[in-house]
């Protein structure tokens, strides 16, 4: 099924808007995995997800973003105990557009009571936390962020420059944006209520995520603000010690994207301003 103007494909044949299905007894967690050249990291991550799927209803959505290392083949390989779907970009469109394609594919078939989890595909995020995320959503949160910057959170295994970028961004965004409940604005491990995302997607349409790079994580929080979500954070221990190969983040480019996003948000006329 084509989900986005012919250049994005998903293995799912089912479609239609987000629906509420009375026959389903448990909400499902749809785990979106934006992946660019993650063929080495995906197998251990999918195995960990399969363990969680023993007790949780899970679907993994690998968004292969024009990888050249066979990431798509890994997703298609067949993972016992785990429902794995593949969304493909023929060329690399960047993290933001990969997340957008994953969310659109999920919204096309998820039930309103389901949960969307977005996490890195490089095996630095622990899928066990999905249970905690679902618990927070069940307790009333609309968005739950796995945070390096709350008590119990830890990014000590990441290189110093990467830690500096994340901390600097967190301080800047906290000062300027002041989104209630958010300390870690750039974490790529989060859960969202499907009903909240469906409402935001209805409002923003194609413009839900315009960023191509890592600034998409901040952009999405800003775009959700008009829905007045309840945001919670839970501690994240980043497992950078499991990372294969270098980070794909370009630090100077990402700082530029963060600053542009802030400026755009400040200068945009209402009703386009997210704040
Ligand atoms: N689809 C797609 N995915 C991408 C792209 N670039 C990066 N990714 C995916 O984004 C995830 C994170 O990318 P890394 O290169 O591994 O970055 P990191 O240093 O581990 O990122 C850390 O810091 C970021 C900023 O604070 C966090 O957003 C991220 O969650 C993590 O903690 C991985 O799953 C990677 O495949 C891209 O162009 N396209």
Which tens digits make up the pLDDT trace of 122-181? 999 999 999 999 999 999 999 999 999 999 999 999 999 999 999 999 999 998 886 788
Look at residue 12 in the predicted model and tell me its pLDDT.
Answer: 41
Q: From the CB of 35, is ligand 1 less than 6 Å away? A: yes
Cβ density class 216-228: b for 16+ within 10 Å, e for less: bbbbbbbbbbeee
249 pocket-lining for ligand 1 (C-beta < 6 Å): yes
Hey, which of 36, 161, 238 would you mutate to test ligand 1's pocket, going by the most ligand atoms within 8 Å of its Cβ? 36
Confirm whether the ipTM is greater than 0.90. yes
Q: What percent of the chain has pLDDT over 90?
A: 77
**Among the atoms of ligand 1, which is closest to the Cα of residue 238?**
32
Q: What is the pTM of this model?
A: 0.90
Of 132, 180, 172, nearest to 152 by C-alpha is: 132
For ligand 1, whether the C-beta of 120 sits within 6 Å is yes
Structure tokens of 36? 């660019």
Report residue 5's pLDDT band, with 50, 70 and 90 as the boundaries.
very low
CA distance 119 to 208: 18
Rounded to whole angstroms, the Cα distance separating 213 from 253 reads: 9
34 lines ligand 1 (CB under 6 A): yes
How remote is the CA of residue 249 from the centroid of ligand 1, in Å? 7
> What pLDDT does 7 receive?
52
Question: How far, in Å, is the centroid of ligand 1 from the Cα of 239?
Answer: 13
What is the number of the ligand 1 atom nearest to the C-alpha of 122?
A: 34
Q: What's the CA gap between 112 and 18, in Å, rounded?
A: 6
Residues 190/117, Cβ–Cβ less than 8 Å: yes
Q: DSSP H helical segments within the chain, as ranges?
A: 42-52, 71-76, 95-107, 129-138, 160-177, 194-204, 216-224, 251-267
157 pocket-lining for ligand 1 (C-beta < 6 Å): no
pLDDT tens digits, one per residue of 75-121: 999 999 999 999 999 999 999 999 999 999 999 999 999 999 999 99
Q: Is a pLDDT exceeding 60 seen at residue 42?
A: yes
Does the structure show a pLDDT above 60 at 225? yes
The DSSP string of 45-84 is HHHHHHHHTTTS-EEEEEEEES-SSSHHHHHHT-BTTBEE
Is the CB of residue 119 below 6 angstroms from any atom belonging to ligand 1? Answer: no
For residue 247, report the distance from its CA to the centre of ligand 1, in Å. Answer: 7
Token reading at 149: 């910057």
Instruction: Please identify, by atom number, the ligand 1 atom nearest to the C-alpha of residue 169.
Output: 26
Tokens of 245: 């190969």
d(CA 271, ligand 1 centre) in Å: 31
- Decide: 186 in ligand 1 pocket, CB within 6 A: yes
- Does any ligand 1 atom lie closer than 6 A to the CB of residue 95? yes
Beta carbon of 56 within 6 Å of any ligand 1 atom: no
* Three-state secondary-structure class, residue 257: helix
């Amino acid at each position: 099924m084509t989900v986005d103007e012919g250049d994005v494909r998903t293995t799912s044949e089912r479609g239609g808007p987000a629906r509420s299905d009375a026959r389903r007894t448990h909400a499902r967690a749809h785990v979106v995995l934006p992946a660019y050249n993650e063929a080495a990291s995906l197998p251990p991550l999918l195995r960990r997800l399969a363990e969680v799927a023993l007790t949780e209803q899970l679907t993994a959505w690998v968004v292969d973003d024009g990888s050249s290392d066979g990431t798509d083949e890994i997703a298609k390989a067949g993972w016992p105990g785990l429902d794995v779907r593949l969304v493909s970009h023929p060329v690399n469109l960047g993290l933001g557009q990969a997340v957008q394609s994953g969310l659109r594919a999920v919204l096309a078939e998820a039930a309103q009571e389901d949960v969307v989890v977005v996490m890195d595909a490089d095996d630095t995020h622990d899928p066990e936390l999905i249970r905690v995320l679902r618990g927070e959503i069940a307790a009333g949160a609309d968005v739950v962020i796995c945070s390096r910057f709350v008590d119990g959170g830890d990014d000590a295994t990441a290189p110093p420059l990467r830690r500096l970028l994340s901390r600097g961004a967190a301080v800047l965004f906290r000062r300027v944006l002041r989104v209630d409940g958010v300390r870690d604005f750039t974490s790529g491990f989060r859960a969202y209520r499907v009903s909240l995302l469906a409402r935001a997607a209805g409002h923003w349409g194609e413009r839900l995520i315009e960023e191509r790079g890592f600034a998409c994580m901040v952009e999405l929080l800003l775009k959700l603000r008009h829905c007045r979500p309840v945001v919670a954070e839970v501690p994240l221990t980043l497992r950078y010690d499991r990372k294969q190969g270098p980070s794909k983040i370009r630090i100077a480019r990402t700082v530029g994207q963060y600053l542009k996003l802030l400026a755009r948000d400040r200068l945009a006329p209402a009703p386009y301003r997210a704040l």
